């Protein structure tokens, strides 16, 4: 099956995952773009495209994709956490803390521990706001 034959957003999404697994981020991004073109509310495609953009260190575009995902489904704790990660990569501490706060509020067991261990947040570890977030 060629890409031109794929008309179902789910097929494009699955093809994007295959490209992701092969380390072909640009091709994956194109597939997720096609998913979104066919079905704009496919929030999983917004997240996966954001992740692929993160791998390419295009953090601003990744954040834009995560914003679209959470606009469609506000309780996407993964998208909020990934936004925090991207903001930290861009050294925007306040926005990182806000996104991290939302991720932890949605799924405290997963994200407070992960954030405490993640080196990208090292510069925040002495910040009382961060300490309060990860200590529960």
Give yes or no for residue 3 having a pLDDT over 90. no
- In the chain, what are the domains? 1-73 (1.25.40.10), 74-136 (no CATH)
In this prediction, what percent of the chain has a pLDDT beyond 90?
Answer: 93
Tokens standing for 87? Answer: 């903001």
Confidence of residue 121 (pLDDT cuts 50, 70, 90): very high
Sequence-ordered list of residues with C-beta below 8 angstroms from that of 109, at least 6 positions apart, any chain: none
Q: How far is CA 71 from CA 16, 27, 74, 103, in A?
A: 22, 25, 6, 14
pTM for the model: 0.91
Classified as helix, coil or strand, 22 is coil
Q: Is the pLDDT of residue 1 over 60?
A: no
Question: Which tens digits make up the pLDDT trace of 16-30?
Answer: 999 999 999 999 999
User: CA 107 to CA 56: how far, in whole Å?
Assistant: 27
If phi > 0 it is left, if psi is from -120 to 50 it is alpha, else beta; for residue 14 that is alpha
């Amino acid at each position: 099956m060629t890409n031109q034959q794929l008309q179902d957003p789910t097929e494009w999404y699955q093809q994007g995952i295959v490209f992701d697994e092969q380390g072909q981020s640009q091709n994956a991004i194109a597939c997720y773009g096609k998913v979104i073109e066919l079905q704009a509310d496919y929030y999983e495609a917004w997240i996966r495209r954001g992740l692929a953009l993160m791998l390419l260190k295009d953090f601003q575009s990744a954040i834009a994709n995560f914003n679209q995902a959470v606009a469609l489904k506000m309780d996407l704790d993964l998208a909020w956490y990934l936004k925090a990660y991207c903001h930290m990569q861009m050294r925007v501490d306040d926005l990182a803390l806000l996104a991290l706060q939302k991720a932890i509020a949605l799924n405290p067991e997963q994200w407070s521990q992960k954030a405490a261990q993640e080196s990208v947040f090292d510069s925040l570890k002495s910040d009382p706001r961060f300490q309060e977030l990860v200590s529960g």
